[in-house]
Amino acid sequence: MRYCGRDFTQAQIDLIRDLLQVPQMNRARLSRELCERLGWRRDNGGLKDMSCRVALLRMQTDGLISLPAPRNPKPVTYRSYPHIEVAVLEPAIIPIIDLATLNLDPVLSKADSMLWNAYIQRHHYLGHQLMPGAQLRYFVRAAGHIVAALGFGASAWKVKPRDQLIGWTADQRQRNLHLVVNNARFLILPWIRRKNLASRILALVNRRLPDDWHARYAYRPVLLETFVEKPRFTGTCYKAANWQHLGDTQGRGKLDVLHRHAQPIKSIWIYPLTRHFQRQLCSG
């Protein structure tokens, strides 16, 4: 039985059932314990407990196991704090942006994380949403002033134009999808006006992200992707930063099993981080 790119034997399903009999076993403890028992780890040695939780939920849907009730049935995706909400308002004096002073700062501390979330929640049209799995978030500052925020996380599972360009099989995609990173959020603060700012930021990220990702997760991604909602945006800044336009989505989300095409159409853009990204993504 295959879940989240991993094959589970009947003995391993029985192990999960045995662990569920342990007193006070909750979902978080179960996923960590199972990862330890199975040696299910990321390249940097960390447990793949988030993938494990998804696998456990799918096993429950398939009737193989019965999980304990979640401790937090409705997880809080965003929590506001008055002092942070004030900090993300438009300042009285708008800074003059010198592109030569742009700097990318990874979000590392809890305080910066809360500030990043608040900027995205208040000023990005999609708002703040939890990004599971491997991720990096950045502030962009000019002479010390925050002018933009970016977030990178897990790539889309299936994208026909991207997958056709790569040429990988379903097994190769399962094995190497972590080498594709999605630019899930890109926000330039609404009061900032500067020609070429967006494309300059993307150029900085294109060079910086592989090293930061390797430092955090012990492997280097080989391809960036993003999806630009139409007709809200045209993707001009991605084009100016040498990203490649592959076409448009069909308006289907990952849960659209009835082919209702109820999601917005988005243009698909990619940026290769290595010359031979197709060969690497199709490797064994």
Cα separation of 65 and 70, whole Å?
A: 15
Distance of CA 272 to the CA centre of its chain: 17
Give the mean model confidence (pLDDT) for residues 79-95. Answer: 93
The fold adopted by the segment(s) 86-281 is Aminopeptidase (3.40.630)
Cα separation of 111 and 50, whole Å?
A: 24
pLDDT band at 73 (very low <50, low <70, confident <90, very high): low
pLDDT for residue 284 = 73
255-281 confidence digits (pLDDT tens): 444 455 567 899 999 999 999 999 999
Q: Lowest-pLDDT range, 53-67, 68-82, 89-103?
A: 68-82
In degrees, to the nearest 5, what angle opens at C-alpha 195 toward C-alphas 224 and 114? 55
From start to end of the chain, where are the E strands? 2-3, 6-7, 102-106, 136-142, 145-154, 180-188, 223-229, 244-248, 266-272
> Is the pTM value of this prediction over 0.75?
yes
13-45 confidence digits (pLDDT tens): 999 999 999 998 999 999 999 999 999 988 778
pLDDT for residue 75 = 63
pLDDT band at 49 (very low <50, low <70, confident <90, very high): confident
pLDDT for residue 205 = 97
Cα separation of 124 and 214, whole Å?
A: 28
pLDDT of 82 strictly over 60: yes
Give the mean model confidence (pLDDT) for residues 167-182. Answer: 94
- Residue 251: HSE in the Cβ half-sphere, 13 Å Cα cutoff: 10
Which residues, 6+ apart, have CB-to-CB distance to 201 below 8 Å? 102, 104, 140, 148, 150, 186, 188
Contact status, residue 282 vs residue 223, Cβ threshold 8 Å:
no
Domain ranges of the chain: 2-61, 86-281
- Alpha helices of 23-151 — where are they, by DSSP H? 27-38, 49-61, 82-87, 110-123
Give the mean model confidence (pLDDT) for residues 151-158. Answer: 93
Structural element, H or E, at residue 281: helix 277-281
Which residues, 6+ apart, have CB-to-CB distance to 21 below 8 Å? none
Give the mean model confidence (pLDDT) for residues 144-149. Answer: 96
pLDDT for residue 44 = 76
DSSP 223: E
User: What CA–CA distances, in Å, run from 271 to 61, 99, 207, 215?
Assistant: 36, 22, 11, 20
pLDDT of 238 strictly over 80: yes
Chain mean pLDDT for the chain: 91
Q: What percent of the chain lies above the pLDDT cut of 70?
A: 95
Contact status, residue 268 vs residue 248, Cβ threshold 8 Å:
yes
